[in-house]
Structure 1
Amino acid sequence: MIAVNGKKVEFTEFPNGELNLNHKSIDVLANSDSATNVGFKFENNTDLIKLMFVKRYLDQLKIKTTSLSISYMPYSRMDRSENGSPFTLKYVAQFINELGFSEIEVYEPHSDVTTALLNRVQPNFINFNLINLVKRIVRFDENKDYLMFPDAGASKRYSRMKAKNVLVGHKHRDFETGEIKGLELVGDISGASGRQVIIVDDLSSRGGTFVHSSKKLREHGFSNVFLLVAHAENTIFKGELFNHIDTVFTTDSILTEQNNWENKKYESKLKVYNI
């Protein structure tokens, strides 16, 4: 989905599948000196073509300053080349750079590679704001309750997210299949019984890591397990996540299917904030 100055840009399709940009849905003045913002929510690969059409049309109108806000950087998982595999994130970043935005904002980048690859980029780590909101909602006791980072990567990313009680997960994977076989908790859990814990990470797909984390946390006596992830894919509804997490707090940076009738049963266990 593409928006210009907060208004969704409309597209139709020709019979052969080619996109037709409805330029009347873009409310800007030609030759304008006013700053124009393009919002980019990646829902499928077609959105990259839509982004190109919108930016080139704004160039045609001679809009001088055009910024880009990316709710979730697509292909963030492919942030390296291993054994000759395609460096897909690099290719997508190059594509965006070539569009020539005056500045780029990326919400909760998956790794430092994203910000290294994009030109004139400013990361927006929204979890540092959301955690305060979540703490208020669950009535988090700073002296007794816990934060948990499910792996070393999350622990490093959110090292500035201070808390008196912090746990870090250490996952055991089957290297051939990638399946999580177990998880250990690193940290002082002597006072865990009957306490609350908020798991914090940037991204959830089916939520397997968080299911394993919750199981281990409850084994140690935690009464309530919450999850904060900046980005949640629609696949969170396909796994066992909601059977193990009391409430999932996330944003609509990727999520689109939370209001589908078959997913409404999770409404009481899901809180979605507008990006």
Structure 2
Amino acid sequence: MILNLDKNFTPYGTKNSIDYNFFTFLGGEPHIKIISEFENVTEVTITHRIQSFNDIGTLLLATNALKNMGIKKLHVVLPYFPAARQDRLMVSGEPLSVKVYADIINAQNYESVTIFDPHSEVTPALLNDCKVVDNHKFIKQVTQQLSDDLILISPDGGALKKIYKVAAHLQNYEVVECSKSRNVKTGQLTGFKVYTDNLQGKDCLIVDDICDGGGTFLGLAKELKAKNAGNLYLAVSHGIFSKGFEELEKYFTKIFTTDSFKTTENKNCIQIELGKLL
């Protein structure tokens, strides 16, 4: 059976789904009550979209409730793993946030933890019994909607390894590498570079795992246009879009993402349901 803790996110459908009530006490404590009754059920899959520490709390409460009902095997699907970008210590005084979340998840002793297109290899290394779903099917669905004469753009060094794997899987596309500089204390981005002289008017698809404020892609878009790029497209596995789409729409003809983090409604953003990729 399946417990979808975000009722707007049902990657495996709603058949055999578990009903529950969720509310918050006046003191601020969240609470969940499983309504469905089980007979001869020993295994359940929990799906959830994590957008805050409170969402982790909801997951833990649901996990405990199911264990108290006699469920022996629990699987969890967390497509966007929280704090995956905080995967190394850069400045003194900061936590290694991804390990904090991973330790909490590991303490639940899940049979498996499924994540989608993790930011780096650190997250799956920290998680016990981790199953990684790569972004290959996602990018394939994106490229099928675009020109055959398309260039894949790697926005920075961190994306290089994954984008070459995608290119090898698709077998049809050239890759152009780019880079940027980031001040680790302020987060400010500078020094965008595109490592080719002329893109010859070809359409370009930037491929990355996360779009938060979009600063990386805005800075890179200007440099791509300066190198004679054609239409610009953006494909990100996890669309946070904390600053909206207004600035991104000035440069990108279309933006592609999944519903791993939230459900997005925007005329220039095409959202592919994760259920089609798992």
**Considering the TM-score relative to the shorter chain, is it more than 0.5?**
yes
Cα deviation digits, residues 67-125 of structure 1 (max 9, x gap): 11112001112212332421121111111111111111111111111001110001111
**2-side partners of 1:42 and 1:184: how far apart?**
33
**Which one of the candidate residues 163, 166, 169 is aligned to 1:158?**
163
| Equivalent residue number for residue 115 of structure 1 | 124
| Equivalent residue number for residue 177 of structure 1 | 186
**Which one of the candidate residues 23, 26, 29 is aligned to 1:12?**
23
Pick closer, same or farther for the CA change 1:238–1:223 going to 2, 3 Å: closer
**2-side partners of 1:108 and 1:43: how far apart?**
16
| Equivalent residue number for residue 233 of structure 1 | 240
Indicate the percent of aligned positions where both proteins have the same amino acid: 27
8 Å CA contact 1:195, 1:223 repeated in 2: yes
- Of 116-125 and 2-11, deviating more is 2-11
8 Å CA contact 1:214, 1:244 repeated in 2: yes
Which blocks of at least 5 consecutive residues in structure 2 are unaligned?
Answer: none
Pick closer, same or farther for the CA change 1:203–1:28 going to 2, 3 Å: farther
The one-letter code matched in structure 2 to 1:18 is E
Pick closer, same or farther for the CA change 1:160–1:9 going to 2, 3 Å: farther
TM-score of the aligned structures, taking structure 2 as reference length: 0.85
**2-side partners of 1:18 and 1:36: how far apart?**
25
Q: Please, what is the CA RMSD of the aligned residues? A: 2.1
Q: Offset at 1:182?
A: 2.9
Greater relative contact order (CA < 8 Å, ≥ 6 in sequence): 2
**2-side partners of 1:66 and 1:200: how far apart?**
33
SS at match of 1:158: helix
The one-letter code matched in structure 2 to 1:232 is G
**1-side partners of 2:82 and 2:39: how far apart?**
30
| Equivalent residue number for residue 263 of structure 1 | none
The one-letter code matched in structure 1 to 2:122 is V
TM-score of the aligned structures, taking structure 1 as reference length: 0.86
The one-letter code matched in structure 2 to 1:94 is D
Cα deviation digits, residues 222-246 of structure 1 (max 9, x gap): 2200000000114140662222111
SS at match of 2:114: strand
**1-side partners of 2:183 and 2:60: how far apart?**
40
Listed as ranges, the matches of 1:185-200 within 5 Å are: 185-187=194-196, 189-190=197-198, 192-200=199-207
| Equivalent residue number for residue 62 of structure 2 | 54
SS at match of 1:226: strand
SS at match of 1:216: helix
Q: Offset at 1:9?
A: 4.7
**2-side partners of 1:28 and 1:247: how far apart?**
45
Which blocks of at least 5 consecutive residues in structure 1 are unaligned?
Answer: 260-266
Q: Offset at 1:135?
A: 1.1
| Equivalent residue number for residue 5 of structure 2 | 2
Q: Offset at 1:176?
A: 4.9
SS at match of 2:60: helix
**2-side partners of 1:99 and 1:41: how far apart?**
17
8 Å CA contact 1:146, 1:195 repeated in 2: yes
Q: Offset at 1:157?
A: 2.2
Matched, 1:254 2:231: no
| Equivalent residue number for residue 264 of structure 1 | none
**2-side partners of 1:171 and 1:105: how far apart?**
31
| Equivalent residue number for residue 267 of structure 2 | 268
SS at match of 2:166: coil
Cα deviation digits, residues 186-213 of structure 1 (max 9, x gap): 14x54x2321111000001111111111
8 Å CA contact 1:149, 1:167 repeated in 2: yes
**2-side partners of 1:197 and 1:10: how far apart?**
46
| Equivalent residue number for residue 150 of structure 2 | 145
**1-side partners of 2:153 and 2:241: how far apart?**
23
